[in-house]
Amino acid sequence: MSENMEQSPELLLSPLIPSLPDDVTVDIVARVPRSHYPTLSLVSKSFRNLIASSKLYKRRSQLGITQHRLYAVLRNRKTGEFSFYILHRKLNGYNRLVPVRSLPFMSPRGSCVPVGSEVYVFNDLSVLIFDCTSHTVQRMSNFPERMSYKEVNVIGKKVYVIGDALCHYVEQTGWMKWWRKAVTVFDTETQLLEPKLVNEDMAVGLGPFWSDSVVMDGKIYLKGYMNGNSFAYEPEERKWEVMDEVLNSKEWEGSCVVDDVLYYHDRSGKALRAYDPKQGCWSVVNGLEEFLAVETARSGWSRTVNYGPDKLALFFPKRQYGEKMICCAEVALERRQGGEIWGKVQWCHIVIGGELFDMVKFVAVTV
């Protein structure tokens, strides 16, 4: 076989720009805003391969040029399928959620979490890793054993899967049981699983369900579904603790954490609320009163997601022209002198028709 025959198809393509070395072209494209990449991929097959290559995103990372890419898991009410969508940022016009056809469906009881430029999807009996630079998928061979009602969070490069160890309970009252919590840790750098830890010291929460979970200040906070209590798991000491009445006083479902402060949309109070664990108190984000009162007045649900430094995205339903839509607002956050937090809406667009879809999960990755 000749030397040329042994080369990969990508290397047999013509230079990206004939008058320039390819490394120089990669440096140029790495500095171009990602919103232009769909157009650049239409120039030629060589450019299309470059846009999908890890080499380009590695160079962007080396240059310190990274952007956040937001994904949504939507449930189709007709088919029951859980599919991935990406928020497509348009230079001129409205931003939209568009399906990512190359990514497989997620299990109804699955959960997903971002780790760098990848998304780890924990289904019932499998773990998939999505490369968000190329939208390719690989299956993890040594996935954690099955756990019910799991919540998945990331601290550093470790993924913490918290679920119920069904065989561990201490008492039974009627149909309800005290459930023991099991923690499985997966190191994404070594690709190794740590031994599963079943909490034997205390029964965490009444019943198996969680309504939400976040990571703040190196701890995993979980909101109980049945009794509304909040709990925290400390990974270093492997200990659980019941949170005080301050954090429990709010229903912070659909929340996110930006710079170690928890944010959630209080629909009944028409406010974006913030909880600072260092100060141990709730506050209201100023500057959003009119927007929330007008735009989200009839929203039955809402979700927030970290969208980069000092920024979050707020998703909520809205009726327009007699049809249900799903909107997204990008909110910039600013902590002012005295500790007050102010918010400013950068844009608010209808991102998808909402009659056929339920919002399940949002993740933002850095690419």
Give pLDDT tens digits along the chain (367 positions): 333 333 333 433 567 788 788 888 888 888 887 767 878 888 888 888 888 787 887 788 788 777 788 999 999 988 888 899 999 877 667 899 999 988 888 888 788 899 988 999 888 777 889 988 888 898 876 665 666 667 899 999 899 988 765 544 445 544 445 556 778 888 888 888 877 676 544 455 545 556 789 999 899 998 876 666 788 888 988 888 887 788 888 989 899 999 999 999 999 999 999 999 888 899 999 999 999 999 998 888 899 999 988 999 999 998 877 788 899 999 999 999 888 999 999 999 999 987 788 888 899 998 8
Write down the residue that tokens 């805003």 correspond to.
33
- pLDDT score recorded for residue 226: 62
Give, rounded to a whole angstrom, the gap between the first and last alpha carbons of the chain.
Answer: 38
- pLDDT score recorded for residue 182: 78
- pLDDT score recorded for residue 93: 72
Distance separating alpha carbons of residues 223 and 147, to the nearest angstrom: 18
Q: Is 266 exposed, middle or buried (0-12, 13-18, 19+ CB in 10 A)?
A: middle
- pLDDT score recorded for residue 229: 76
- pLDDT score recorded for residue 154: 94
- pLDDT score recorded for residue 144: 54
State the DSSP code for 36. G
- pLDDT score recorded for residue 6: 33
- pLDDT score recorded for residue 91: 64
Long-range contacts at 220-228 (CB < 8 A, ≥ 24 apart): 220/151, 220/153, 220/155, 220/160, 220/162, 221/247, 221/262, 222/151, 222/162, 223/251, 223/252, 223/253, 226/176
- pLDDT score recorded for residue 288: 97
- pLDDT score recorded for residue 55: 82
- Is there a contact between 168 and 198 (Cβ–Cβ < 8 Å)? yes
323 forms beta bridges with 320
Q: Which residues of 180-207 are buried (b: 16+ CB within 10 A; e: fewer)?
A: bbbbbbbebeeeebeeebebeeebbbbb
pTM over 0.85: no
Distance separating alpha carbons of residues 163 and 111, to the nearest angstrom: 11
DSSP string, 266-285: ETTTTEEEEEETTTTEEEE-
Q: Half-sphere exposure (CA, 13 Å, Cβ side) for 217?
A: 10
